[in-house]
Structure 1
Amino acid sequence: MPITGQGLTHSENSMADINGNDFAAIVPVTSGQIGGRETSIVSAKALHKALGVGKDFSSWITDRITDYGFGIGSDYVVHKLISPKLGKSPDSKASSPVAAGRPGKDYLLTISTAKEIAMLERNDQGRAVRRYFIQCEEALQLSAPAIAAKYRRQLKARISAANMFTPMCAALEAARAEQGKQTLPRHYSNESNMIARIVLAGLTAKQWAQVNGVAGEPRDGMNAEQLEHLTYLESTNITLIDMGLPYEQRKPELVRLSQRWLAKRLGVSHD
């Protein structure tokens, strides 16, 4: 369900509407999916118009994405528009004839990305649009607290998972150095894949992303429970590495502790 309106912006919206800060009509925030997860989304084309940017849309959005490192599948997705000139949709299936024009594409942004882009404009419109996005987020928390809580849990879990991976790699490198062994990229991958397979039913993170149609960083498409599970196992693996346990002993121990962690979550006793 849309938070403040339905659909994307329409060409009949005038600059007077924009100057009147009728942003709910000009740049609506709607519900959608990015990277396989439900989130609030904003049309970059609508945002470009609301901000009154003088630069053409295509150059402006690609510059913003490149300069500030926004990631496809996590911060935005590309949305292909129907080609009016050819009367065909992006998948080449015929559609009803319409007026001549050029095919194009839009970028669907997370509300956080849209808010950051609005802030980067450093003008009155940018500040006003950013305040509008903040109000949308506050409205979501008031009208749908369960959804807002879900988003907060997701964000917290994603940050925790990011914070554990580097220390795990550092622990592995230190342990191997004590044994006079060099740590190669494949050694880090082995640890990461071992834990991912435990959490993702035998799949590596890359394989899981392909199966679930997640573009970009796989962890950005995982739900909160999967991320919390990863974080627990990475933290536990650090302890096992520091204890001097080799890979062959750590793997079954992590499987056992994983089952115990899941059982606790389900409220089931586990020996």
Structure 2
Amino acid sequence: MEHAGRHKIEIDGVSKIFRKNGKDVTALQETSLGIERGRFVSIIGPSGCGKSTLFNIIAGLVPPSTGRVLADGANIVGKTGHVGYMLQKDMLLPWRTILDNIVLGMEIRGVPRRQAVERALPLMERYGLKGFDRHYPKELSGGMRQRAALLRTLLYDRDVILLDEPFGALDAQTRITMQNWLLQLWADFGKTVLFVTHDIDEAIYLSDDIYVFTARPGRIKTKVTVNMERPRKQEDLTSPAFMELKNHLLKLLAVEQRTAQDEEKIS
């Protein structure tokens, strides 16, 4: 694989075949990609193209049928705890306060509670959760719960963060606020982020690179690099460069959407 030494995460020939109703179903064709340290990388593609399956393989939750996942050159297939992983649902525990939810990952890793709290409270203040430490999840808005969930994921303290449509359930105004908030976190913490989204605007606005997946069985169709200066601004969403890239991605996805619909008719 190209420039292997620079890659924080390598996906090398990974595929996944599930057994369903006595038949083999390919969810993910052999896929290879390398992500450099500190990059923000998004994956877009039709529903069911294997994006979440790939994330589950990287996180060690599902074994691949073929291939390897390497973190800093070490094989992590089937091993959990090497990446932070956040889903669209915030997964906050309703019986724990926001502070107790945020420190949960550190507790799991064996960090003493006092130390975990001392680390969490300044970050809660810095990132807009000051005064909510004793609240419970049901008392917070969707955006605030996602902030807490993201902080919990960051404080799990892994270099690589997987984010699977974390803002998919939010309204448009809250979503752009959360995107800017995430970019601030990313700039401050220097994490390597792999991000799944169905929103092309979101992918362009956040990313250094975008991988477009084909319809199921998924594979990488192309990689697009976003050549827009950072820090990103909301005005960028209507710039000529942004719109040109958006139209290009829409055309790529339209082909895959038609393929997905044709496959549904056949099946």
Considering fraction of residues, name the structure with more strand: 2
* Structure with bigger RCO (C-alpha 8 Å, 6+ apart): 2
Question: Over alpha carbons, which structure has the higher Rg?
Answer: 1
Give the alignment's TM-score, normalised by structure 1.
0.23
